A and B are shown apart, each in its own frame.
Chain A
């Protein structure tokens, strides 16, 4: 069958409806009824499970007592991107998994309550935090993603002047470029960025890339402290024949194109889409392919469902939207169809043998005109190289301690750039916050 990758598979109205908000905002009544379910636990397990340590029982109680703005302040004081995290956090493996009411298979809907509070505050357009008296210290933040924004906001709050250097044309990082459109409707990433910057004392320089437009050495000499919140610069390849064929693409590019498209229905998608991978990126690419009107979307992962990085909720969402999930198979080759473009992809069936993934010897082939690769991304340390300032790496990423300080005394790092991270927005926010607190201590001796 000839390749059929094209836009306009569905009408603008159909696409708009398909990409509507995944979890519409709770009404006040829903929020209060849900908040009433919180037991206000002692040493609450949900707080322990939250990478940013939000005082969840307190913020829920503030919703219950009709103080949603105060509730938002409680959330944002630990996690300035609490609005986005309410939308993208895999709560069912974090706070909600820890909720003591999970025993009823009905944990308190913490994520949706968090959104109720933060949306309420952001709707008012107020910045709830004030800056401390200025310290006269300057910090550079590389990358306007979750880690960088969190670090910048906390530094600004503590009275420092911050300049953010962002390679892309918009701030927000993966919130703007890397997550499914239905998780952040109505330009939420940009609204949240504006909200973060509204504290003042933060200059965002877009289109300035580290290593290209500015060097690490210059940042180290021009600023009192540097925070590196770069994203991952490269995607992993499949390493199979046919990977270069027309129709094979990176899922992250597909997701980014969709997020940036002025009209989503125009974004080209195949008739038979095969997504390779088991993480959130794979799910986001697969689900959105389906929502754009692809006839068949199959997600293939080399191990079982329980090993997927995508949460059980994300997996069930994909199934609900019509994505077929296939496990225990690894791609072997991609073959061209009659038109020279991708026509099919063949897999070797796999199994676990004493913890090792091995081929079973069986194979199968899926018809495909579009193959999206989502098997992970890699940190590219090139922008750090060739500078007098040297930073130690670990497992290919920046080595940082609990205070997020690198091996260089003036450089801190967080988010995807550091080793041992959790690949979660909320973890990146925590990195930025902890780095800012450590920077503050270093700069003021506090």
Chain B
């Protein structure tokens, strides 16, 4: 079994799997159960000022399912902890004492006033917690009160609050970012400028899960009304990965530690986020779908994969994919692929043909010698990958690189040299090729 131990901002945990700040981390009983199940750390559900908030007494969650009821996406309108501050602080202290080898980060959200932060930070420090996470992401309810995403959407506020925290505590400061923003690099840079030690992302995405067409209200609804909630779960993973990778490769924030959040359900999801630069990963929806035992598969799978690849510690692959994330303009325009249909495994459903015919490049024939037969016409194929994406048979259609000869579509010889848009003759802004 590979060593899964992580050291994130000096905070050690036996594995990179932390539970995100959310309902699973609201109470001592839950967190204790999580640690017994093997989670490496938790970000305690967001604390706020007393008097504590209240939650609705109607549905807090809505879900998107596959047709076999697999939960694909979840949204929630739950607020920060609805328990007194003192209760949470006491429980955090007790759990940290009982589980010294696990990471306990405390998520915080108080009004945008330095005094409010100055007041709460020493209380948290006193619990022995390993660090704090500033909740600048919550998109519902709290944002209406000028907190959560309302702060995260204004880089100046992010920087200001991060700075207050750094000045008023010795604990490492993680800033949790909202995805409900045009360019996530802006608040990340602000966090760094404010002295934050790390960022975590993504928080949940503004969402309405459905509309009840009988009562004409968003669903789920509370007494006939609905409000947008925060969307999470497997469905948001691609969005989260894009945002993580943008921060990981941004020259202004390069090297800033990242704790990744967003639909992590399996070991592979975790490995992918880590390859994109995440030092730890935070999980919520998977645990809320299956229970804490789900971490077993994540740990075993990550360890088996590391053994297979020869990695002996997680640091060896964290960020390894970042250099390969680039701008469109730097993609190699001389790289030519053509779709190829394996006739042995083709089941002749015809979907590749019809999507290419109707919506793309008319590059897949549907007939040969009067028989139903699907084959790619290289003279039309642009290598777009749509047929691969819609084919129900894995590996039936593959994209094959053409390394020599002439591209049948363009009539131009294959050029083995790298060349991109920046030097392309059609680019009015082109620079001279070196």
Binding site for B on A (CB under 8 A): 28-29, 36-37, 40, 42, 58, 61-62, 64-67, 69-70, 73-74
Contacts and interface: CB of A to CB of B under 8 A. Distances in A.
A67 B305 CA distance: 8
B17 to A, nearest CB: 14
Nearest to B69: A39
Contact of A40 (B68, B267, B268, B290): B290
A29 B68 contact: no
Contact of B294 (A40, A67, A70, A73): A40
A58 B291 contact: no
A28 B290 contact: no
A70 B300 contact: yes
Interface string B377-421: 000000000000000011000000000000000000000000000
B291 A69 contact: no
Interface in B324-363: none
Contact of B297 (A28, A29, A37, A65): A65
The prevalent SS among residues of A at the interface is helix
Contacts of B393: 29
A42 B301 CA distance: 20
Interface in B279-306: 290-291, 293-294, 296-297, 300-301, 304-305
B68 A62 contact: no
Given A36-B70, A65-B301, A58 B296 contact: yes
B297 A58 contact: yes
Contacts of B266: 61, 64-65
Given A28-B394, A64-B266, 16 more contacts: A29-B394, A36-B70, A37-B68, A40-B294, A58-B293, A58-B296, A58-B300, A61-B266, A61-B294, A62-B297, A65-B301, A67-B300, A70-B301, A70-B304, A73-B300, A73-B304
Contacts of A62: 297, 300-301
Contacts of A29: 393-394
Nearest to B300: A70
A47 B292 CA distance: 18
Interface string B66-96: 0010100000000000000000000000000
Contact of A61 (B68, B297, B304, B305): B297
Contacts of A66: 268
A41 to B, nearest CB: 9
B287 to A, nearest CB: 12
B267 A67 contact: yes
Nearest to A40: B290
B68 A65 contact: no
Residues of B contacting A: mostly: helix
Report, as a range, how many residues of chain B touch the other chain.
10 to 19
Contacts of B304: 67, 69-70, 73
15 contacts: A28-B394, A29-B393, A36-B68, A58-B296, A58-B297, A58-B300, A62-B301, A64-B266, A65-B268, A65-B297, A67-B267, A67-B301, A69-B304, A70-B300, A74-B300
Contacts of A36: 68, 70
Lowest 8 CB-CB distances: which A-B pairs, in order? A65-B266, A70-B304, A61-B297, A67-B301, A40-B290, A70-B300, A65-B301, A67-B304
Q: Interface centre among A40, A69, A74, by most B CB within 10 Å?
A: A40
A124 to B, nearest CB: 11
A70 B302 CA distance: 10
A104 B300 CA distance: 31
A386 B70 CA distance: 63
Contacts of A69: 304
A66 B68 CA distance: 20
B285 to A, nearest CB: 14
Interface string B230-243: 00000000000000
B140 to A, nearest CB: 29
Contacts of B268: 65-66
A62 B305 CA distance: 12
Contacts of B294: 40, 61
Nearest to A66: B268
Contacts of B70: 36
A373 B305 CA distance: 52
Contacts of A70: 300-301, 304
Nearest to A59: B297
A66 B305 CA distance: 10
Nearest to B290: A40
Contact of A42 (B267, B291, B297, B300): B291
B102 to A, nearest CB: 22
Contacts of A28: 394
A29 to B, nearest CB: 6
A69 B290 CA distance: 23
A62 B297 CA distance: 6
Contacts of B305: 67
A66 B304 CA distance: 11
Contacts of B291: 42
A37 B296 CA distance: 19
B399 to A, nearest CB: 19
Contacts of B267: 65, 67
B65 to A, nearest CB: 13
A67 B297 CA distance: 9
A28 B395 CA distance: 11
B38 to A, nearest CB: 12
Contacts of B296: 58
A379 B3 CA distance: 49
Contacts of B293: 58
A40 to B, nearest CB: 5
Contacts of B394: 28-29
A54 B132 CA distance: 40
A198 to B, nearest CB: 18
